[in-house]
Amino acid sequence: MGKLKTLTVDHGKEFADFRAIEALISTQVYFVHAYSPHERGSNENRNRVLRRFIPKGRPIEELSDDELIQINWYLNSRPLKCLHWHSPIEIFLLNLRQ
């Protein structure tokens, strides 16, 4: 896997200092337009998958630790097109060894 090419984010306050993020990861940060979820396709897809486990309106505090571990494992072991059909855990372990 190569270096991160771009980072697309929303207008949350956690990205107020986006220039520092760009400098830290040597990558250009782009902002999506408000109320345009189609501009963050992979993010919206992950949210849709997450909703299989956690319906809208269900407080996360109601989930047990075991449920959270199962959801986490499912999401991180699922191959993704954006990772050339590798899973996030595979990519993590690959980079950990380097």
Long-range contacts of 3-10 (CB under 8 A, 24+ apart): 3/27, 6/30, 8/32, 8/39, 8/40, 10/40
The pLDDT score that the predictor gives to residue 2 is: 56
pLDDT for position 7: 86
Q: pLDDT for 13-62, tens place per residue?
A: 999 999 999 999 899 999 988 877 777 777 778 888 999 999 989 999 99
pLDDT at residue 1 in the model: 47
Which whole number is the average pLDDT over 69-74? 96
pTM, rounded to two decimals: 0.60
